[in-house]
Amino acid sequence: MTSDRPVHAVRRMVARLAARGCDAPVVLRHRSDATLDAESALLAAGTDLGAPLCDGIGDAVVLSGFGDAGRTVALGYRILQGARLRTTWTEFISCPSCGRTLFDLEETTARIKARTGHLDGVKIAIMGCIVNGPGEMADADFGYVGSGPTSVNLYVGKELVERNVPTEESDDRLVELIRKHDRWKDPVN
Ligand code: SF4
């Protein structure tokens, strides 16, 4: 079945199959529009496939039109991770930032991503303040939370393990913490 409103179409189709007692496997296919730039193509695939996957619909995903096989497979992994069906890459959880944010969230997140973005399956939360940050870290493995204008608190899961670490030491201390909990691996150059 093909549709220019695929999310709606697949939901209707699955509802109809379920009403008839049919639980046949559902394969979600997405062909990229060759006129789209890379970012728009990624967004279109994420929208069309991510919505049904988050609903629990889909037994397999088929992507085409994204160029070489490696890029296509990497995109597939990202879509599965976005739908929380498979954790393959490092996952970063950041707060949206607000008046309470105690550091430049974008710059800090980019810096931490550069150090830890190769850690398969590790979830790291980077939150702007200790007022709401710890409660919003979801199920992160490690938390990096602003505790003052020049300090952060570090968490393992929901547990506060290092308090008021000076900002200039905080990235190294986070990495040390990840190592200590056997979640570190050296990046491949
Ligand atoms: S965690 Fe703190 S800084 Fe971030 S959005 Fe929530 S209240 Fe604001």
| Residues 26-67: tens digit of each pLDDT | 999 999 887 888 788 888 999 999 999 999 999 999 999 888
Residue nearest to atom 2 of ligand 1 (CA): 129
Substitution site in 102, 104, 108, 131 for ligand 1 pocket (most atoms within 8 Å of beta carbon): 131
The tens digit of pLDDT for each residue in 159-186 reads 999 999 999 999 999 999 999 999 999 9
If one counts the domains in the chain, the total is 2
Domain that holds residue 157: 91-180
Beta pairing partners, 122? none
Instruction: Tell which residue, 186, 175, 188, 183, has the closest CA to residue 122.
Output: 183
Residues 118, 40, single domain; the answer is no
Residues 155, 77, single domain; the answer is no
Q: Is 96 in the pocket of ligand 1 (CB under 6 A)?
A: yes
pLDDT at 59: 94
Q: Is 86 in the pocket of ligand 1 (CB under 6 A)?
A: no
The tens digit of pLDDT for each residue in 74-111 reads 888 889 988 888 878 899 999 999 999 989 999 999 99
| Within-domain flag for 113 | yes
Question: Does position 189 have pLDDT exceeding 80, yes or no?
Answer: no
pLDDT at 98: 94
Residues 175, 98, single domain; the answer is yes
Domain boundary among 55, 82, 109: 82
Q: Is 133 in the pocket of ligand 1 (CB under 6 A)?
A: yes
| Within-domain flag for 161 | yes
- Measured in degrees and rounded to the nearest 5, phi and psi for residue 96 equal -70, -10
Task: Quote the CA–CA distance of 150 and 125 in Å, as a whole number.
Answer: 18
Answer for the pair 93, 135: CB distance below 8 angstroms, yes or no.
no
| Within-domain flag for 17 | yes
Answer for the pair 127, 133: CB distance below 8 angstroms, yes or no.
yes
